[in-house]
Amino acid sequence: MKENNLTRGKVTGVIANLVMVDVDGPVSQNEICYINLEGVKLMAEVIKVFEKRAYIQVFESTRGLKVGTEVEFTKGMLEVTLGPGILSRNYDGLQHDLNKMDGVFLKRGDYTSALDDKKKWSFKPLAKKGDTVAAGDWLGEVNENEQPHKIMVPFKFEGRYKIKSVVSEGEYTVNDTIAVLTDQKDNEVPVTMVQKWPVKVPIKTYKNKPRPFKLLETGVRTMDTLNPIVEGGTGFIPGPFGSGKTVLQHAISKQAEADIVVVAACGERANEVVEIFAEFPEIEDPRTGRKLMERTTIIANTSNMPVAAREASVYTAMTIAEYYRAMGLKILLLADSTSRWAQALREMSNRMEELPGPDAFPMDLPAIISNFYSRAGFVYLNNGETGSITFIGTVSPAGGNLKEPVTESTKKAARCFYALSQQRADSKRYPAIDPIDSYSKYIEYPELQDYMKENISDTWVDNVMLVKNILIRGKEASEQINILGDDGVPISYHVDFWKSEVIDFIILQQDAFDPIDRSCPIPRQKYMLEKVLDVYDTSFEFESFEEVNPYFKRIINELKQMNYSEYESEQFKRHEKELYYIIDEKKSA
Amino acid sequence: METKAFQKIYTSITQITKATCSLNAEGVGYEELASVNGRLAQVVKIQGQNVTLQVFGGTEGIPSNAEVTFYGRPPVLKVSDDLAGRFFNSFGLPIDGGPEVEGDEREIGGPSVNPVRRKQPSELIATGIAGIDLNNTLVTGQKIPFFADPDQPFNQVMAMVALRAKADKIILGGMGLTNDDYLYFKNIFDSAGALDRIVSFVNTTEDPPVERLLVPDMALTAAEYFAVDRNENVLVLLTDMTLYADALSIVSNRMDQIPSKDSMPGSLYSDLAKLYEKAVQFPEGGSITIIAVTTLSGGDITHAIPDNTGYITEGQLFLRRDTEIGKVIVDPFRSLSRLKQLVIGKKTREDHPQVMNTAVRLYADAANARTKLENGFDLTDYDERTLKFAKEYSDRLLAIDVNIDTDTMLNTGWELFSENFTQAEVGIRKEMTDKYWPRKK
């Protein structure tokens, strides 16, 4: 691109981070531009054009900005840099490497590069001279933190190409040419390990996107057993403050059966991100024995960082996830919290004086949210391999009220709903996911049911449905007891209630801080589910209702000790044995 | 703040509202300070030649030919060690009769800390109040508000916390303080002989409400000076943040912005987060801890101000009058310190988490027993004992006038357990009971 072709402009107005610019040439929606504020370049994005005036949102503080300041437009949209070396990095919302920035405080316009251009990667070719390739096809691979990182034909390439040459196995930096392709007109195009992609555009280099069907294990019982999420699925976690959203998201990011985890810390507390920074490099991934940080990338736009970049941060995270999905990997993408992203949209819409929708959010909020969620999914790549992005977002509903626009819009887009209940949180029943209000639409998918029958057990799905019923019956019994009094109901009501309490304490509740209990693999979940159903299937005899509570507390205690013991250890078996002694005490003949 | 000779003076105002005025001017920077007939103002909107100013002192009596001059810089605070022991107004000018402070000029509302440069908070702040130290331990670098009804003694409790916490500096940001409360703070700090480690920025109810918007930034800029330049542990007290948020809504209303929930501006979350996120543990040892007050109306925590605050801060503290003992306690049910798990049982005695949880659980049992009693059901022996426990727990631990160290709190906890319950009822891990259960006298 020639310098003199670029559009330039001059600032004519400022309202917080919304800036009006009069331009001397064409500009496009979402085009990136830089404001030259006394030598510091501030990045901004076009969000509205009216005649010769562009409205831009600045990704930085606009303090000191004056009318007449020069603005340069770039012709490009907001792009991320994709290549080996993204893993283990901490980026801001615009993919600048936070660790490369100097000083304790963030400086305006301190834009650091996303990748390390000095590091040498050992490249192995996967394609050969003469092959016909298209965007997203694998040319070779490098080893990134023990993950096979595929070097692909850049996603922006249209049509078919022929490989003219590929370098041989060896050490290369990201900017070295590793292949030369020729297009249909025989023009030569060099390819390096780096490519750029606009974040607001989905990467669609896959063959097709079927309905997801594979269970994604998270190790969290109340999710996996009752309301499972699938590889390529979408879910969201709404909850009032203090209900354990962040602890739950951290648990999922630590334990989930994914190759790569991308965390978008979007407008939340900085100390929570610091916790990830401090812990992830220390904690081991039990599946690989390597540190969790090696499979993780963090996009941090904490609540005190510029608001406009907050909106960009979720897109940056999604695009990175899509890049890795195109390599045939399983990605888990977490965004905490999508409400902050929606609020960023609201602030801008408000400054542009658009007519507001409900609660002053922009009218197209539901569309924006569902478009974003639709970028997740399980895909078959062109070479037959599979990849997936599982997306879980948290929502922070104002006043804990689930009838607000962000929760409602998300409910339409996401297929799993994990409602955190204040009541459960208050009574310290963690994770506070309400078992009755929450749902997973995937559990009704015959594809997933077949998968679970084959991989867990024939009776699994029926058992899960049964458990849901027991919980509902327990809730009804408890309501009756509260209304009529302990001695105003038949003893069987107490038994029904306590049988559901067994499930609550043993399956639903889980100690995220206990080294053993915090992660529960599927075989163990299956085993424990069978134990609690054994209790359920037993008919007991009690003389009076007063016996019921202490008796079931003993049952719960033994089962709880099993949860706290190493699976199938001596200790585990001892408590199991004790459990059956207790069951036999009151078993009716 | 004198005007300089070469400055251009504008005298033609085009629009005046209750909080803002507009005029045509050139070369003005965003967020720049200005003076309108001697009143301080700040640029909040530029549209071509037209500049809108937020006049902190209000626009009462401002004529359309008022003299307007621009300072060419955003609001600043002059920082140096001389700040200590002084009282200032919202603009950072002394109100205690002393001289102006000389020092480095720092822009207020400056940049945020790079999250990768933060350190995980790990030092506990002892206050001697069991409702805090035992149940909701505070940590340096934390931000936590009192959610309180206007009739509760939150300022007294906050002053007590501030004086007992071993902070190097205490910075008070008072927004809409009544003159009585302002004098109360002044006296209590004075009589505690702590004035030399206290800096105050005060906007009283006598001052214009929009001025309040400067107070937290002033206080936090001073805090950053002591925490970064001097590596000190700084405690910032902000009272009352509800009045700050109200001032935000006044300005946004005057600027014709569309309000979101509860008439608050749509940017309330970001506005509050920008302040609270200044709480930080720096790698070099300095820290900023923020204790704030958010007054509630009728205890409603779903209102936009406490709600947004709750999503930003690391927990919240509730005060409650316990009618059983007739004293104010820190409510063990609704209060929460999110950072306590970073220190309890690690920086404090190993039995801390267990004693804390068990006592709260037994206290909850007592609440259930009380409900039973109120509904006319019979109480069991266990119920009776929980009630007795609850009363003593409130009296000997939770009451805010109790001042003991954490080990004493834990020992008192064990005494109360052993006086009222069996080991099985308490249900603490055996290794702990073996070690700490008091021997029969």
pLDDT grade, residue B252 (50/70/90)? confident
Type of residue at A226 = L
DSSP notation for B307-354: HHHHHHSSEEEEEEEETTTTEEEE-TTT-EETTGGGTTTTTS-TTHHH
CB-nearest to A98 from B116, B260, B336 is B116
* A65 contacts on B by Cβ (under 8 Å): 29-30, 46
How close, in Å, is residue B262 to chain A by CA atoms?
Answer: 10
CB-nearest to A106 from B107, B112, B260 is B112
Please name the residues in contact with A108: beta carbons below 8 A apart, sequence gap of 6 or more: A37, A40, A42, A60, A61, B111
pLDDT grade, residue B6 (50/70/90)? low
- The β-bridge relationship of strands A138-144 and A147-152 is antiparallel
Question: What pLDDT does residue A398 have?
Answer: 82
What are the φ/ψ torsions at residue A12 (nearest 5 degrees)?
Answer: -120, -10
- Cβ of A271 and B120 within 8 Å? yes
Closest CA to B26 of B1, B59, B56, B48: B48
Residue A337 to residue A393: CA distance in whole angstroms: 6
How close, in Å, is residue A240 to chain B by CA atoms?
Answer: 8
How far are the Cα atoms of A182, A423, B367, B374 from residue A484, in angstroms, in the given order?
A: 81, 22, 20, 16
Domain positions in chain A: 3-77, 121-193, 206-441, 460-586
Residue A241 to residue A226: CA distance in whole angstroms: 24
CB-nearest to B277 from A12, A67, A302 is A302
- Cβ of B113 and A63 within 8 Å? no
pLDDT at B431 over 90: no
| Digit-coded pLDDT (tens) for A5-58 | 899 999 999 998 899 999 999 999 999 999 999 999 999 999 999 999 999 999
Residue B16 to residue B13: CA distance in whole angstroms: 7
Burial A185-222 (b: 16+ CB within 10 A, else e): eeeeeebbbbbebbbbbebebbeeeeebbbbbbbbbbb
Please name the residues in contact with B88: beta carbons below 8 A apart, sequence gap of 6 or more: B94, B95, B199, B200, B201, B202, B218
pLDDT at B1 over 60: no
Type of residue at B307 = D
Residue B51 to residue A14: CA distance in whole angstroms: 9
Radius of gyration for chain B, computed over Cα atoms and rounded to the nearest angstrom: 25
CB of B28 closer than 8 Å to CB of B10: no
Residue A117 to residue A194: CA distance in whole angstroms: 10
Closest CA to B32 of B22, B44, B24, B21: B44
How close, in Å, is residue A353 to chain B by CA atoms?
Answer: 8
CB of B186 closer than 8 Å to CB of B195: no
Asked if omega into A364 is within 30° of 0 (cis), the reply is: no
A138-144: strand order across its sheet? A147-152, A138-144, A121-125, A170-172
- Cβ of A302 and B307 within 8 Å? no
Residue A572 to residue A239: CA distance in whole angstroms: 34
The H or E element containing residue B243 is helix B241-254
- The β-bridge relationship of strands B13-16 and B20-24 is antiparallel
The CATH number that domain A206-441 falls under is: 3.40.50.300
What are the φ/ψ torsions at residue A101 (nearest 5 degrees)?
Answer: -80, 140
Residue B319 to residue B321: CA distance in whole angstroms: 7
Residue A199 to residue A371: CA distance in whole angstroms: 13
- Cβ of B48 and A13 within 8 Å? yes
Type of residue at B267 = S
CB of A95 closer than 8 Å to CB of A316: yes
Residue A235 to residue A213: CA distance in whole angstroms: 15
How close, in Å, is residue B224 to chain A by CA atoms?
Answer: 11
Residue A428 to residue B358: CA distance in whole angstroms: 12
Radius of gyration for chain A, computed over Cα atoms and rounded to the nearest angstrom: 27
Report helix angle B268-276 to B241-254, nearest 10: 140
* Token duo for residue A239: 């909850």
- Cβ of A241 and B307 within 8 Å? yes
Q: Which of residues 332-361 of A touch B (CB under 8 A)?
A: 340, 343-344, 346-347, 350-351, 356, 359-361
β-bridge partners, A300: A265
How close, in Å, is residue B194 to chain A by CA atoms?
Answer: 30
Type of residue at A76 = G
Question: What pLDDT does residue A399 have?
Answer: 78
User: Is A3-77 a CATH 3.20.20.370 domain?
Assistant: no
Q: What is the DSSP secondary structure assignment for residue B100, as one 8-state letter?
A: P
Phi-psi region of A360 (alpha: psi -120 to 50; beta: other; left: phi over 0): left
The H or E element containing residue A530 is helix A522-537
Which of the residues A67, A96, A481 would you substitute to probe the B interface, choosing the one with the greatest number of B C-beta atoms within 10 Å? A67
Residue A430 to residue A437: CA distance in whole angstroms: 16
- Cβ of A67 and B28 within 8 Å? yes
What mean pLDDT, rounded, does chain B reach? 91
Report helix angle A338-351 to A365-373, nearest 10: 140
| Total number of residues shown for chain B | 441
Distance of CA B379 to the CA centre of its chain: 42
Between chain A and chain B, how many beta carbons pairs sit less than 8 Å apart? 165
Burial A439-477 (b: 16+ CB within 10 A, else e): bbbbbebeebbebbeeebeeebbebbeebbebbeebbeb
How far are the Cα atoms of A100, A267, A293, A310 from residue A89, in angstroms, in the given order?
A: 10, 18, 8, 18
CB of B143 closer than 8 Å to CB of B208: no
ipTM of this predicted complex?
0.88
Unique residue bearing structure tokens 């720049």: B32
Question: What pLDDT does residue A2 have?
Answer: 43
* B257 contacts on A by Cβ (under 8 Å): 350-351
Unique residue bearing structure tokens 């801080």: A513
Domains, chain B: 13-70 (2.40.30.20), 81-341 (3.40.50.12240), 352-436 (no CATH)
- Cβ of A66 and B30 within 8 Å? yes
In the predicted model, residues of chain A with pLDDT beneath 50 are 1-2
How close, in Å, is residue A233 to chain B by CA atoms?
Answer: 27
- Cβ of B114 and A98 within 8 Å? yes
Percent of chain B topping pLDDT 70: 98
- Cβ of A15 and B119 within 8 Å? no
Question: What pLDDT does residue A1 have?
Answer: 42
- Cβ of B114 and A104 within 8 Å? yes
Which of the residues A57, A62, A241, A282 would you substitute to probe the B interface, choosing the one with the greatest number of B C-beta atoms within 10 Å? A241
Please name the residues in contact with A197: beta carbons below 8 A apart, sequence gap of 6 or more: A79, A80, A82, A155, A156, A203, A319, A323
**Residue A41 CB burial class (10 angstroms; 0-12, 13-18, ≥19):** middle
- Cβ of A15 and B45 within 8 Å? yes
Fold that domain A121-193 belongs to in CATH: OB fold (Dihydrolipoamide Acetyltransferase, E2P) (2.40.50)
Which of the residues B106, B220, B258, B311 would you substitute to probe the A interface, choosing the one with the greatest number of A C-beta atoms within 10 Å? B311
Question: What pLDDT does residue B3 have?
Answer: 47
* Helix, strand and coil percent figures for chain B, each rounded to 5: 35, 25, 40
Closest CA to B235 of B313, B148, B160, B141: B141
pLDDT at B317 over 70: yes
User: Is A460-586 a CATH 1.10.1140.10 domain?
Assistant: yes
Residue A418 to residue A112: CA distance in whole angstroms: 37
Residue A459 to residue A469: CA distance in whole angstroms: 15
| Digit-coded pLDDT (tens) for B128-139 | 999 999 999 999
Residue B170 to residue B414: CA distance in whole angstroms: 34
A108 to chain B, any CB pair closer than 8 A? The answer is yes
- Compute the half-sphere exposure of residue B58: CA atoms within 13 Å on the CB side of its CA: 9
CB-nearest to A360 from B110, B266, B280 is B266
pTM of the model: 0.92
CB of A235 closer than 8 Å to CB of A447: no
Percent of chain B topping pLDDT 90: 72
A515 to chain B, any CB pair closer than 8 A? The answer is no
